[in-house]
Each structure stands twice: as structure tokens, then as C-alpha cells.
Amino acid sequence: MNQIEIEFCVEREDDEIELTILGYAEPYVPANYRGHPDNWTPPEGGGSGVEDILLDGKPWSGTLTIEEEQRASEEIYHRFIDEQEAAYESAMEAKAEAMREDDWYPEPDFW
């Protein structure tokens, strides 16, 4: 599981409170039904949730509504996916750069 931090706003008594929410997210791994049934695996992961709620760096004494907690959990999962995609793109760019340095293929302006 990966810990994710998001900024989250809630309204209480006509005041808007900006909270820092710490949560977790894990990637979704689809089921594998290829090959022999002994090698099949069920789907796993794809979940996220709220672990801690902070106000100005200290634990918040309030509670989130069910809708707010669900929205926060969704934001945590989307942030997790964005971070995973950015890490993948960065790794692919580094690999492409290494291949260019090793003369595996020409510079993009070659074409």
C-alpha cells in the first residue's frame, strides 16, 4: 500500500475548513484465468481509504460525512493513479534516453 496526502475542504456551519488527509491506495491487479486452473488468481487491490485527518498539522477532532469520506477516498485513489502514471512516464523517458546514449536508435529529429 502507498500512503497518499491530499488537501481537502469541508464546510461546517458556513465555514470552509481546509484539511490534510492522509490515506492509502493500492493498485488494482486484474484476475488471471489463463493456463491451468492451479495458476488462476482472483482480482486484488484497487482500494483506497482515509487513515488520518489533520487540521494545521494536528489531528482533527471532527468527523467526515459518508459522502465526504467517499469523495476523499476517490481523490486519494486518483492522486495515486496520477503518481503511478508520472513515475512510469519518467522511467520510460529515462530508458529512452539511455537507449539513445547507447546508439540503439537515432535522435527524434532524425525522422
> The CATH number of the domain where 26 resides is what?
3.30.300
**Identity of the residue numbered 79:** R
d(CA 99, CA 86): 20
The per-residue pLDDT for 106 is 62
Could you list the residue range(s) of the whole structural domain that residue 13 is in?
2-102
DSSP state of 75: H
Determine the 3-state secondary structure of 44 from DSSP. strand
Is residue 15 a part of any domain in this protein?
A: yes
Cα–Cα distances in angstroms (integers) from residue 100 to residues 49, 65, 111, in the given order:
41, 52, 14
Is residue 111 a part of any domain in this protein?
A: no
The per-residue pLDDT for 104 is 62
Is residue 108 a part of any domain in this protein?
A: no
Hey, which residues does 2 pair with through a beta bridge? 25
Is residue 82 a part of any domain in this protein?
A: yes
Is residue 107 a part of any domain in this protein?
A: no
Is residue 61 a part of any domain in this protein?
A: yes
Count of structural domains, the chain:
1
The per-residue pLDDT for 111 is 55
Is residue 110 a part of any domain in this protein?
A: no
The per-residue pLDDT for 100 is 75
The model carries a pTM of: 0.75
Q: What is the mean pLDDT of each run of 10 residues along the chain (111 residues)?
A: 90 92 94 94 92 94 93 94 93 86 65 55
